[in-house]
A and B are shown apart, each in its own frame.
Chain A
Amino acid sequence: MSDWPTLPGGSWSNGHSHLPSPSPEPAAADADADADADELALDAERADAVTLLVRAWTGERCAPDVRAFEGELVGRIMGYLDAQAKLIGVLKVDGASEEDHEKIGLVQMEMDRVGWLLRSYIATRQEKLIRYAPYINATPAMQTRLSVAEQTLVESYQQIFEESLIRDVVGNLPEELQALDEVLPDGRSMVSQPDLDKAVFIRAKQDCGPVLMPDGSSLEIKKRGIHLISYRVVEQLVLRGEVELT
């Protein structure tokens, strides 16, 4: 296997050594510092609303339970879409040149994509909200993660869902059997809950120290480490933003 080092893949770890390093870390670990520099540059460049939306969307799609609603971000994106739409309206009326038309087309496409992302974010949440409606309504901690409109949605959904079940099923059963929220002696509940033990991919944004695993052993999560791990183990890290779901 003597030809391995000649592969182009072997060189990318120190390929950017000529770049000045804005990283506060000592330059001793030069490959590491370079990667950090790249990442910092990327992060600074991409802290705009759309990137944040992409992150929120990825997180929402990967997390087994409902995450906090990014109200402020959604507001910003909506404002952005609205402003762009108005701008395009004005430009079109003013009779734009050929070149402008091309640009308008690009902007519209960008808007379509951002709009899709936002719709998908909302739809993902909506699906989870509805699936776990009885659980969310019974758990105040979950309700604080929802927007006002979402809370209304969850409450009214549970109401119509149970109404339907009562009319077709439990309303016709003997009185002792009418409950819809029983917990069986073996611990299973009629109310379905998010499966927090679901495996998720995480990417550490910083060193997180050792994490206690369910079997008692501990796992060191290093910066930029990627792990496939049970959500319950890293839930707090995710909430604190030290790792992100990918």
Chain B
Amino acid sequence: MSTDPSQALLLECRRSAQTVTLLPYNAAVVTTLIRQIHTIHAHLVQSLRSAAIPGDEVGPTPTPPPAVMFTSTHHHLQIRRLKRVLLVYHSHRLNMLRGMLHRAHLSVTHLLPSIRPLLSPSELTFIRSYAQISMSYRAEFIDVLDIAASVDEPPKGMWVNVRVVKEVGEVITEGGVVDFRKGGRYLVRRGDVEMLLVQGYLEVVD
């Protein structure tokens, strides 16, 4: 078990990527790392200042003594690594969120209730604005084509066998009214039930 807190964030990224689940936002570790960066940065500034020759800022900077060079390089690399870890962690989460929103057909209202407790406030803002810009991009095509629909698998046929998981009731489709009763199985046009599939009312049986 590593005592390095940045390792914990990387591990979380890895786990979340492998299991395709969003883990809760780890505010505690993020704050710790930011504090660490501040501390190391203060040390770095301190050691550089102590090495500088006072009153000689205009002339060419002489190479500081090896001890100072060593510590400052060390500090610098540490800071760079921590910053990178933080950015990796956050952008991984944002990408993850994007993917989830696309799988939910860009419907924030449908996605949010299940994941809200896992997000940081700025991630919440992000996903809302992302949904907005995706919606306006989608509006370019919406008259003819809904680009929010899933592209995971090419359509194999027009009809799809579905099972009703949650009671839906009567739905008007192109072919007429279908009464989706819980537990029932129906053969319907995929386009008609796409939204119900995403929302989890129906599931495909093959």
Which A residues are closer than 8 A to B by beta carbons? 78, 81-82, 85, 105, 108-109, 112-113, 115-120, 122-123, 126, 130, 149-150, 152-153, 156-157, 160-161, 163-165, 167-170, 172-174, 176-177, 180, 184, 190
A-B contact pairs, 26 of them (CB 8 A): A78-B141, A81-B145, A82-B143, A85-B144, A105-B158, A108-B158, A112-B158, A112-B191, A113-B155, A115-B145, A119-B151, A120-B154, A122-B141, A123-B147, A149-B137, A153-B134, A156-B133, A160-B130, A167-B125, A169-B30, A169-B86, A169-B87, A170-B87, A177-B41, A177-B79, A180-B87
A163-B125, A172-B34 known, 14 other contacts, Cβ within 8 Å:
A78-B141, A81-B144, A81-B145, A105-B158, A112-B155, A122-B147, A123-B151, A152-B133, A152-B137, A153-B134, A157-B130, A160-B130, A169-B83, A170-B83
- B151 to A120, Cβ gap below 8 A? yes
Residue B181 at the A interface, CB < 8 A?
no
- A116 to B140, Cβ gap below 8 A? no
Q: Which of B12-20, B55-63, B90-98, B198-206 contacts A (4 or more CB under 8 A)?
A: B90-98
Task: Enumerate B27-64 residues with CB–CB distance to A below 8 Å.
Answer: 30, 34, 37-38, 41
For A170, what are the chain B residues with a Cβ–Cβ distance below 8 Å?
A: 83, 87
Give the CA-CA distance A117 to B136 in the complex, in Å.
21
Our pick among B90, B98, B129, B154 for the contact of A168 (Cβ within 8 Å) is B90
Given contacts A112-B190, A174-B38, A177-B79, contact A126 B137 (CB under 8 A): yes
Give the CA-CA distance A246 to B134 in the complex, in Å.
29
Given contacts A112-B158, A177-B83, contact A160 B147 (CB under 8 A): no
Give the CA-CA distance A180 to B120 in the complex, in Å.
20
Residue B149 at the A interface, CB < 8 A?
yes
Total A-B pairs, Cβ < 8 A: 104
- A119 to B125, Cβ gap below 8 A? no
For A113, what are the chain B residues with a Cβ–Cβ distance below 8 Å?
A: 154-155
For A156, what are the chain B residues with a Cβ–Cβ distance below 8 Å?
A: 129, 133
Question: A180 — nearest CB in chain B belongs to which residue?
Answer: B87
For B129, what are the chain A residues with a Cβ–Cβ distance below 8 Å?
A: 156, 160
- B91 to A165, Cβ gap below 8 A? yes
For B122, what are the chain A residues with a Cβ–Cβ distance below 8 Å?
A: 163-164, 167-168
Give the CA-CA distance A194 to B191 in the complex, in Å.
35
